[in-house]
Amino acid sequence: MSDVRRSGERLTNPCEGCGGEGRRQTSETVTVDVPPGVDDGTRLRVTGRGEAGRQGGPTGDLYVRVRVRPHRVFTRDGNDLHCELALSMAQAALGGDVTVPTLHGDETLRVPPGTQSGAVLTVRRAGMPKLSGGGARGSLHVHCRVETPATSTTSRRRCCAASPSCAVSNWAPRPPTARACSVACARRSDRDGARVTTPDAVVA
């Protein structure tokens, strides 16, 4: 015979494995509700899913610590997100609308003329939701990186040096032929009251 839960009650066929504590060690899978906005290291509490109490005492709570995997596009700073945007020289100089990724799909972002490499553009309410709720969200900060062509021909360099407007259009989306660059420069020069001659072609 054995005591059960050490309460003074004696049974002729006691259960095995409880050691008089009135509980056994088992394992089970628990579904945890993860609220929007959790960050790496956030601790979630699941009430009543911890260890059973000794001798019939109340069951404890289960605490789950969250680990967030890095994202391939975004980095996180609190509720704000950061990403990088590559711009051509033409896009940076002239500005315009570009498409940027967000957690809920692509959005259109206006790039102002004269944007420099390293400039940060902000998309409001495109970051992470605040864990406290209420519908508030952080912002998405887009870091601009202006891509400079690695190579160019001698004629293009001379042409672009003679006409700043050609230097903008000569690289997006890809450098045109030297002949096309020369014609474009000549047309701009006619409009501005001057004429540009390049080694590849002379436009009369």
| CATH architecture classification, 75-146 | Sandwich (2.60)
Of residues 183 and 161, more confidence is placed in 161
* Domain map (residue ranges) of the chain: 18-69, 75-146, 154-192
For residues 25-43, give the mean pLDDT. Answer: 89
Q: Supply the pLDDT for residue 61.
A: 92
Of residues 110 and 134, more confidence is placed in 110
Share of the chain above pLDDT 70, in %: 62
Q: What single-letter amino acid sits at 52?
A: A
For residues 47-64, give the mean pLDDT. Answer: 84
pLDDT range class, residue 200, cuts 50, 70, 90? very low
For residues 40-68, give the mean pLDDT. Answer: 88
Query: Taking 50 as the threshold, does the pLDDT of residue 122 lie above it?
Result: yes
Inter-residue contact 142 to 102 (CB < 8 Å): no
Q: Supply the pLDDT for residue 57.
A: 78
Element (H, E) at 101: strand 96-102
The alpha-carbon radius of gyration of the chain (Å, integer) is 34
Handedness of CA 149, 155, 156, 161 (dihedral sign): positive
Q: How many angstroms separate the CA atoms of 140 and 7, rounded?
A: 62
